[in-house]
Amino acid sequence: MNTLDSRKKLFLVALIVVLIIIAIAASAVIFLSIYEKNKEKKTVKDIKKIEKLIETIDSSLDSSTKNSKEYNFTILRLNESKKIISDKERYQNTIAGIERLQLQYTMSNNHDLYILINEKLPPIIRNAFPDQYNENDILYPCQDPKCATNPQPIEISSIINRIENSDIPDDGQKIIILGLTNASYVPFDERPFYYYHAANIMENSMLTSSSSAAQGIADELINYIKKAYPTYFPAGAEPELKK
Same domain flag for 92 and 126: yes
Residue 23 is predicted with a pLDDT of 72
Domain that holds residue 200: 154-228
Q: Does residue 235 lie in a domain region?
A: no
E strand intervals along 73-220: none
Residue 82 is predicted with a pLDDT of 83
Q: Does residue 9 lie in a domain region?
A: no
Same domain flag for 139 and 198: no
Spans of the chain, pLDDT less than 70: 1-13, 15, 28-44, 235-243
Same domain flag for 56 and 127: yes
DSSP 34-50: HHHHHHHHHHHHHHHHH
50 vs 152: CA distance, rounded Å: 39
131 vs 54: CA distance, rounded Å: 21
Q: Which residues contact 197 (CB under 8 A, 6 or more apart)?
A: 179
The conformation of residue 238, written as its DSSP 8-state character, comes to: P
Q: Does residue 80 lie in a domain region?
A: yes
Residue 3 is predicted with a pLDDT of 61
Cβ-count burial of 15 within 10 angstroms (0-12 exposed, 13-18 middle, 19+ buried)? exposed
Q: Does residue 189 lie in a domain region?
A: yes
Residue 63 is predicted with a pLDDT of 87
Same domain flag for 91 and 125: yes
Count of domains for the chain: 2
Same domain flag for 199 and 179: yes
Residue 22 is predicted with a pLDDT of 78
Q: Does residue 61 lie in a domain region?
A: yes
Same domain flag for 140 and 197: no
Q: Does residue 126 lie in a domain region?
A: yes
Selection from 198, 110, 100, 215 nearest residue 156 by Cα: 198
195 vs 18: CA distance, rounded Å: 78
Same domain flag for 131 and 165: no
Same domain flag for 87 and 133: yes
Same domain flag for 108 and 178: no
Same domain flag for 131 and 182: no
57 contacts 101 by C-beta, under 8 angstroms: yes
**pTM of the full structure:** 0.66
Same domain flag for 57 and 130: yes
Same domain flag for 161 and 140: no
Residue 97 is predicted with a pLDDT of 92
Question: CB 92: neighbour CB atoms within 10 A?
Answer: 16
Residue 147 is predicted with a pLDDT of 87
Q: Does residue 3 lie in a domain region?
A: no
Select from 90, 121, 144 the last residue of a domain. 144
Q: Does residue 23 lie in a domain region?
A: no
